[in-house]
Chains A and B, each alone.
Chain A
């Protein structure tokens, strides 16, 4: 279990090896990589700058990860989030969850992203081809997706 926040890019293979390389009890690995798109709201995007709250970010990601461990049967997990100025095509975020069975890995990865997007103190600012900049507004859908995890499911 680990979280990391920084400007450097990540290598998915290296991160996966660090989480699951020596654990032969792992039956499934789910990996999510978030990337910078070259468009936003119908306009061409030239770069994206991510700001965060040092100290709180790491603490919040660790809380989110601990919550995932209590909800799902996980063998391991990792969250890597980049900050600073990124270009279209660049990686932003990596979430890995490993488990004895695939469903826990899939579900944990989705849970980690839904919680990260509503709890972890990161803010995105888009720079557009027309020279303007704008802060990305939080989506209602992200809040609903995170809230859905608190509703007891039928199964």
Chain B
């Protein structure tokens, strides 16, 4: 470990909700995207769960809204070092979608794909058990397009690049495959508390 940086004092007060290396962005919500924001009309949006499942299933906007609702309240953490406290999202639990599609016994990973072609990989055990959502509301209002509206994935316990914007598909896989940022040097899991930013962390 390198020693202290000469003359660097750092902030004295540190919120225990902040993972190491993160700062509190307050009421702001930075936008980070590798591509232009797509305009997706809710009536043309759908989500599909396919791959290693017994019944590949697709839900339209209306069908997804008829599923049992689920909410997340808590913090989110971006790999670019900002964290946002006490966010509130609403949509449906990924558990609900998986229950309908029924993953086969050899399904161990998930590839999330966006309408834009963006992908990100996740271990199945990190999106089950009430840890992941497909959301269309933020703070009681429709999710803004620049934040992934009409619908994004939400996996708040991992760095936020895993919470794919404009989500359209969850593909169950037997073996892990890297997604967009992961192929570009970012970590396959991305646990903020373990500072898993880049491959090798």
Our verdict on whether A and B bind, yes or no, reads no
* Interfacial residues, chain B to chain A (CB-CB below 8 A): none
